[in-house]
């Protein structure tokens, strides 16, 4: 059974349905003790970092989740779930994360230099919303059957900056190049929403389920 953590701030049913479509047994869990018996864990999330990390702590999920990661259980973070893994976020102030991955969560700049190298700056639309491509940097197991340059669905105003670039599995361009997929041993996390990314998103969920 793959446990989907109910952080109270995500469309959990769509994640569950995506996993079920690829043949996985997935359950939304509100009891943190359930993580002990799960074969894999999904940490989803949308909304504000502060509210989400508070709900995780208040729900007693932090210690079982950290233990599962240390024990080698496959874990997948989605969108805000990726952000939770980092040391801190600057979203609406500075807030401590789980510190599983050293680094910060920062906001997209309002403007970026012209890609042609000129001095003019263009305003970015924030949040970054819609379909965008990933550039595969390392052949993570969850990329089986997924081509370099594949399109996934994004909705976010903040992105992660890992201190160790060795954990970056894929990047995406939006005014700047940011980490869109993270991979370290049994830990995977993506900035996009695979449950909203049609065929390639389902393939990624299938690949994750096969590891559990």
Query: Could you tell me if 49 and 83 are in contact, meaning their C-beta atoms sit under 8 angstroms apart?
Result: yes
Q: Which residues contact 131 (CB under 8 A, 6 or more apart)?
A: 151, 152, 153, 154
How many C-alpha atoms does 194 have within 13 Å on its Cβ side?
A: 33
**Cα gap 122→125, rounded to integer Å:** 10
Q: What number of helices (H) and strands (E) belong to the chain?
A: 5, 16
Which residues are designated catalytic? 79, 193, 195
* Pairing, β 121-123 against β 111-113: antiparallel
**Cα gap 14→196, rounded to integer Å:** 8
């Amino acid at each position: 059974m793959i446990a989907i953590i109910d952080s109270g701030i995500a469309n959990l049913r769509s994640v569950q349905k995506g996993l079920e479509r690829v043949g996985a047994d997935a359950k939304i869990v509100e009891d943190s003790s359930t993580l002990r018996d799960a074969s894999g864990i999904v940490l989803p999330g949308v909304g504000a970092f502060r509210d989400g990390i508070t709900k995780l702590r208040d729900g007693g999920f932090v210690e079982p989740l950290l233990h599962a990661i240390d024990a080698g259980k496959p874990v997948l973070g989605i969108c805000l779930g990726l952000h939770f893994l980092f040391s801190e976020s600057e979203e609406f102030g500075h807030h401590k994360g789980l510190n599983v991955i050293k680094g910060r969560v920062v906001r997209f700049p309002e403007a970026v230099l012209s890609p042609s190298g000129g001095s003019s700056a263009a305003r970015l639309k924030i949040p970054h919303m819609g379909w965008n491509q990933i550039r595969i940097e390392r052949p993570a197991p969850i990329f089986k059957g997924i081509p370099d340059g594949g399109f996934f669905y994004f909705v976010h105003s903040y992105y992660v900056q890992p201190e160790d670039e060795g954990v970056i599995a894929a990047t995406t361009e939006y005014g700047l190049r940011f980490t869109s997929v993270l991979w370290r041993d049994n830990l995977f996390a993506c900035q996009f929403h695979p449950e909203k990314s049609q065929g390639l998103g389902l393939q990624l969920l299938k690949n994750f389920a096969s590891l559990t």
